[in-house]
C-alpha cells in the first residue's frame, strides 16, 4: 500500500516583539509561514500551497493576521505624549520672550509637562523639543497639528500653562496677541480664549 497525502509545515520566518492584542501588552512573537506539502510515506515531495503567514504570540499562543505588527498602541500613545510635550515646550519658550532656554525656564517647562501630560521630561528632552521648532510660525502650525489629540479641557489647560509663563502681569500686547493666536490654533472658540485671557491677564 502506498501512503500518499499532505501535511502543513509552519516554518518560523521572523521573531520579534509586538503588542499582543490578546495579552494587551508587549510579547515575543513568531511569524510563521504555513506551507502545505504533498508527501509519500511522510517524505515531503511537492510544495502544494503557501498559506497566509500569521503572527503567533509566544505567551498566549493566539494567532493574528500579519498586520498586527503595524499596530502598537503603547508606542503610539508614547509618540502622542512626546508630540504634546514638544508642543508645550515650544509654546512656553515662545511666551516667555526669552531668546533661548534658561535653567529656570527649563524647570518650569519640565514641571508643566509632568503636570499636564504626565510625561517625565528631562532638561535634555526639553532642549531637544524646542530645537525642533521654536519660531512662532512652526510652533503654531505644530500646535494646530497636535490639537486633535486634546479635548477641550486639555486645550484650556495647555493655554493656561502657556499664559502662566508670560513675563509680566498685566499681559503685554505681544503676550495677549500670542495667547489669542495659540488658542485659535488649539481650535478653541474665541469666547473660550477670551474667558481664559480675561481671567489670567490681570492676575
Ligand atoms: Zn498574547
Peptide bond into 53 cis (omega under 30): no
- Residue that is written with C-alpha cell 515531503 in the block: 44
Residue 202 has pLDDT above 80, yes or no: no
For residue 1, give the C-alpha cell: 500500500
Q: How many CA atoms lie within 13 A of 196 on its CB side?
A: 23
Summarize pLDDT for 102-126 with one digit per residue, the tens: 999 999 999 999 988 888 888 888 8
The pLDDT tens digits of the residues spanning 130-170 come to 887 778 999 999 999 999 989 999 999 999 999 999 988 88
| Residue 18 CA to ligand 1 centre (angstroms) | 9
Instruction: Report pLDDT digits (tens) over 66-105.
Output: 999 999 999 999 999 999 999 999 999 999 998 888 999 9
Q: What's the rounded Cα separation, in Å, for the pair 203 and 61? A: 59
What spacing in Å lies between the alpha carbon of 17 and ligand 1's midpoint? 11
Distances (CA, A) of 168 to 115, 139, 163, 183, 203: 22, 22, 10, 19, 10
80 alpha carbon – ligand 1 mean position (Å) = 24
pLDDT, residue 177, reads 95
Residue 1's pLDDT is what?
67
Pinpoint the alpha helices (H) of 44-133: 73-96, 103-117, 123-131
Look at residue 203 in the predicted model and tell me its pLDDT.
59
The per-residue pLDDT for 49 is 84
| CATH 1.10.3680 segments of the chain | 74-200
Residue range 74-200, CATH number: 1.10.3680
Amino acid at each position: 500500500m502506498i501512503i500518499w497525502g499532505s501535511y502543513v509545515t509552519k516554518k518560523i520566518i521572523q521573531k520579534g516583539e509586538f503588542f499582543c492584542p490578546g495579552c494587551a501588552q508587549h510579547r515575543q512573537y513568531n511569524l510563521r509561514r504555513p506551507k502545505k506539502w504533498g508527501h509519500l510515506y511522510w517524505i515531503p515531495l511537492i510544495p502544494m500551497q503557501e498559506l497566509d503567514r500569521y503572527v503567533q504570540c509566544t505567551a498566549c499562543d493566539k494567532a493574528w493576521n500579519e498586520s498586527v505588527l503595524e499596530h502598537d498602541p503603547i508606542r503610539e500613545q508614547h509618540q502622542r505624549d512626546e508630540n504634546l510635550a514638544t508642543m508645550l515646550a515650544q509654546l512656553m519658550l515662545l511666551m516667555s520672550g526669552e531668546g533661548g532656554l534658561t535653567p529656570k525656564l527649563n524647570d518650569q517647562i519640565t514641571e508643566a509637562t509632568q503636570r499636564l501630560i504626565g510625561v517625565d521630561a528631562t532638561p535634555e528632552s526639553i532642549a531637544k523639543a524646542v530645537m525642533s521648532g521654536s519660531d512662532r510660525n512652526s510652533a503654531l502650525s505644530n500646535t494646530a497639528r497636535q490639537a486633535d489629540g486634546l479635548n477641550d479641557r486639555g486645550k484650556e489647560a495647555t493655554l493656561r500653562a502657556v499664559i502662566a509663563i508670560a513675563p509680566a502681569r498685566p499681559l503685554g500686547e505681544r503676550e495677549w496677541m500670542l495667547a489669542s493666536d495659540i488658542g485659535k490654533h488649539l481650535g478653541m472658540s474665541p469666547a473660550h480664549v477670551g474667558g481664559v485671557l480675561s481671567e489670567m491677564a490681570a492676575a
